[in-house]
A and B are shown apart, each in its own frame.
Chain A
Amino acid sequence: MKTTEKHLHEPLFHITRRTDISAAKAWMIRLLAILAALIVCALVIVTITDYNPLQVYVKMFEGSFSSERKIMMLLQNIAMLLCISLAVTPAFKMRFWNLGAEGQVLVGGLASAACMFYAGDSMPSPLLILVMLVTSILSGVIWGLIPAFFKSFWGTNESLFTLMMNYVAMQLVAFCIMVWVPSGSNVMGIINQNSQSGWLPELFGQKYLINILIVAVLTVVMFVYLKYSKQGYEIAVVGESENTARYVGINVKKVIMRTMVISGGICGLAGFLLVSGTNHTVSKELAGGMGFTAIMVSWLAKFNPLMMVLTSFLIVFLQRGASEIATAFRLNESVSDILTGIIIFFIIGCEFFINYKINKKSKKKEAVA
């Protein structure tokens, strides 16, 4: 009979979950994945262009490291991506799918820009920066708290809610720019270009250093908060099981809202850093998709803030390398995006081999059949 016949055929391989992989072996797999990715990328490069892949890789490296300016830009980009990743992490650890980082960053940035625009001439710069910092964080908090409030009290779906808040934030930015710059193509341009009022100052001649330092401190704080504080523990418990949390006497509503206050607040801070310390302007593209890339950074690092330094470095390094090879070889940016895609695919894919083991069909059983 057909069914029994089928039963006799054991699949070529089957998958089991690994429970005890050593750190060394895990890293070995990751290294192999990167090597494999580079080989596949080389094949792609050879097939669609006639460049030497090694040359391309050298250029990719140069995109981040060939000058002091590039190194600072690399660090600045890492800092911003890391900051937003840190923001989404507590929410994700709590299994609250905050897809609204983009919007929370935008309203934070918008608040900063509004302060610069309206109070640029009437306040001394240090005071203005303080006001900007506070309003930005508050705006981010409000933007994060709204979906958390609805989720806690009425059980609304937070993924959709936070996602939609992004579009509201975008339109809000577009609207404000239209009010501030009545004739134009919805471009704000540098605010207070001559007075530099509300700009984060240079530190030791480096204009991004303050951003980088703030995020560095934040990374350590977030690591400690999640790992050693009582609140961090509560987040983990709520994430694992809301019922358990309730059973042990954790006020779940309170934890959800408190965590989103933190998440939104840090996004607001990121918006402040992007406006005051980086762009000195606001636009719909202020966050530039980082609100979503941050989710990947956070997941890849398994919500460990210190590991996120590494994963955000990886993403930024690839992005910068991609745009460098696009310029150096006159490749369309899409080509370099393909390469970045391949590398990220392998890196994410290799986690499968770290978590699962592939068992081949054993000969012994075949003999029995």
Chain B
Amino acid sequence: MKKIICALLAVVMVLAFAACGNTDTASKGGEKDKVLSISEIEKTVATAMEKVEKANLKIGLICLHDENSTYDNNFIQALKEVQQELGLTNDQVLIKTGIAESDACYNAAAEFADAGCQIVFADSFGHETYMIQAAKEFPKVQFCHATGTRSQIELVSNYHNAFATIYEGRYLAGVAAGMKLKEMIDSGKITADKAVIGYVGAFNYAEVVSGMTSFFLGARSICPSATMKVTYTNSWFDIAKEKEAALNLINSGCVLISQHADSEGAPKACEEKGVPNVAYNISTIPMGPNTAIISSKIDWAPYFKQIINAALEGGTIPTDFCGTLENGSVKLTELNTKVAAPGTQEKIDEIKAKLISGEVKVFDTKTFTVGGKELSTYTADIVDKGDFVPDSEAIKDGTFAESSDRSAPYFDIKYIDGISE
């Protein structure tokens, strides 16, 4: 018996190693090592799409979670909105939810390609390498990926990244928070030194750090005595953990909460405790009618429209798209006037205009210090070679030039003075 078992196992092993030899020699080597400067890369890799009739157009959306996650819901709603606007059927706009950051993502993308999609879009950071794998296998299909960092490195002509200058939206949301803090101080509810903001972050990395810092700077531009405490949940979507983190922050004296994590946990905790909340991705007024102030969000509809039109007209999709306040990709949701301080809307409009004109810069180095010092130079890891070594100067003309050299955020200074864990 043992002999038979051994023989069988041996056969399998031999087959495995025989096949191994074939692929091994094909693609060994360090083609990844070549470094192109940002200016060299430009938007040159993208090639024009083949023109498709509207009736034959198909787009597939891959989501990490489903509608219950505010982050994923933001993509789903935007795509449905565009679908309605362009009059596409449900068979033309395919959505897969709950796709893990694993081989499942590659398979979902490949299935979309099999189904005849011209464009496949994935929404989570961890989907990136699998999207690149699919892009290499299906050169005629365009693969677009939100929050990714590799399109400038991989140079696969049908692979694209997209994000937006959401730090500007966060800054404006911070202004609304600052107005609320100022109101609390002016009305004598708290003293100036008690203006502590609590922030529930998902992971301690650039996208979250950039968002929370810009939010804090926005708040401090209105309420100079504001400080901020951060707690990480180490998960994108965990209702219980996010709620617990928010409650702990409230109990430790935070008088206003904001979050960068995707569940209803923090807004609901705030509603329970009657603490004002500034959210992200979607309006949380239904979850917290008495505490939700406003949310900043990336509106993906302009981008979806752009890539669908590229297919209809035979155009190109930018290698690395970065939406802005100006082109409507960065937005604020409806202001809850019941909770917000009077004059908030006017202030937001004023500062929004200044951000667009360039009069106000979010990461103006004169407005913050790190370790007590103003920042005059900072090397950030912008070219994502996978080595995690900072490579490019990010301070330009007295500002940390976030999202200018790459759409995905790279402001990763933890922490500027005033923010602590």
Contacts and interface: CB of A to CB of B under 8 A. Distances in A.
Interface residues of A, number: 52
Interface string B124-138: 011011101100000
Secondary structure call for the A interface: loop
B27 interface: yes
Given A194-B31, A224-B1, 17 more contacts: A125-B20, A126-B24, A183-B205, A184-B205, A186-B234, A196-B27, A201-B16, A201-B19, A202-B23, A203-B19, A221-B5, A224-B5, A281-B102, A283-B100, A327-B95, A330-B90, A333-B98
A228 interface: yes
Nearest to B130: A190
Interface of A: 67, 69-70, 73, 124-126, 129, 174, 181-187, 189-190, 193-197, 199-203, 210, 213-214, 217, 220-221, 224, 228-229, 278-281, 283, 285-286, 288, 323, 326-327, 330, 332-334
A180 to B, nearest CB: 10
A194 B103 contact: no
Contacts of B94: 327
B203 A186 contact: yes
B125 A185 contact: yes
Contacts of A279: 102-103
B101 A283 contact: yes
Given A70-B111, A333-B98, A125 B15 contact: no
Interface of B: 1, 5, 8-9, 12, 15-17, 19-24, 27-29, 31-32, 66-67, 90, 94-98, 100-103, 107, 110-111, 114, 125-126, 128-130, 132-133, 202-203, 205-207, 234, 236, 381, 388, 412
A201 B234 contact: no
Contacts of B110: 69
Contacts of B114: 67, 69
Given A194-B32, A196-B27, A220-B8, A187 B111 contact: no
27 contacts: A67-B111, A69-B110, A125-B20, A125-B24, A129-B17, A183-B205, A183-B206, A184-B205, A185-B202, A187-B101, A189-B129, A190-B132, A195-B28, A195-B29, A201-B16, A201-B20, A201-B22, A202-B23, A203-B16, A210-B12, A220-B8, A278-B102, A281-B102, A283-B100, A283-B102, A285-B101, A332-B97
Contacts of A224: 1, 5
Contacts of B101: 187, 283, 285
Contacts of B388: 181-183
B132 to A, nearest CB: 7
Nearest to B94: A327
